[in-house]
Amino acid sequence: MQTQFIVIEGLEGAGKSTAIKAIEFWLNQREIAYAKTREPGGTPLAEELRTLIKQVRDEVVTPEAELLIMYASRVQLIETVIKPNMAQGKWVVGDRHDLSSRAYQGGGRGISDELLDPIRHAVLKGFKPDLTLYLDIEPKVGLARASARSELDRIELEQLSFFERTRQRYLAIAAEDASIVTIDAMQTIEDVHQSIIDALNRAYP
């Protein structure tokens, strides 16, 4: 089988880290070599961009600046980490990818598709995940989990309505794209784990 790019997506507190462990468990059982990435970040330059964009700052950060930083990070990661790993025969497991920008910057921040689409297409040039697992959670449940874990960053400090819009965009895109599987992240950890294994088994019988 060709190498695959599998992405995990979801709002803060949806349980992405636990979900990634389930994917790793499944890959290890099948003895598939893989690399892990995260966005924004995943290369030295992109990790610096991650720090910059998450920092709470006095200055207003425009949605457009935020968007471009996300795509600067993404293009660096795709070209220097994801594609080279796949060329070497490894699968790649991504903690977030392009769908995050469509949901957070498009849905949450309200950036139009007129701006978003040309940037996406210029950066991605048709590159897309083979499978995306979207962990769906109510924002207030996710944010309560995230704030119990650590201090909230600049994006996490947004109002609930921002995350409601982001979630609605995730759900709308997932409903139209067969490569995105929606998983109920409000189930028990064991059930989320099993749902992920089931989704992987269905995608790769």
Contacting positions for ligand TMP (CB under 6 A): 12, 38-40, 70, 95-96, 100-101, 104-105, 155-156
Residue with Cβ nearer ligand TMP (32 or 35): 35
Query: Minimum distance from CB of 81 to ligand TMP (Å)?
Result: 14
Cβ(195)–Cβ(187) below 8 Å: yes
Residue with Cβ nearer ligand TMP (55 or 194): 55
Query: Minimum distance from CB of 163 to ligand TMP (Å)?
Result: 9
The dihedral formed by the CA atoms of 72, 77, 79 and 80, expressed in degrees to the nearest 10 = 120
Backbone angles phi, psi at 157, to 5 degrees: -80, 0
Residue with Cβ nearer ligand TMP (91 or 104): 104
Residue with Cβ nearer ligand TMP (32 or 63): 63
Helices marked H in the chain = 16-29, 44-54, 63-77, 83-87, 98-100, 113-124, 139-149, 160-176, 189-203
Residue with Cβ nearer ligand TMP (86 or 123): 123
Backbone angles phi, psi at 123, to 5 degrees: -80, -45
Query: Minimum distance from CB of 205 to ligand TMP (Å)?
Result: 30
Query: Minimum distance from CB of 54 to ligand TMP (Å)?
Result: 6
Query: Minimum distance from CB of 15 to ligand TMP (Å)?
Result: 11
Q: Which residue has the tokens 């070497």?
A: 88
Pairwise CA distance, residues 105 & 103, whole Å: 6
- Tell me the residue number closest to ligand TMP, measured at CB: 104
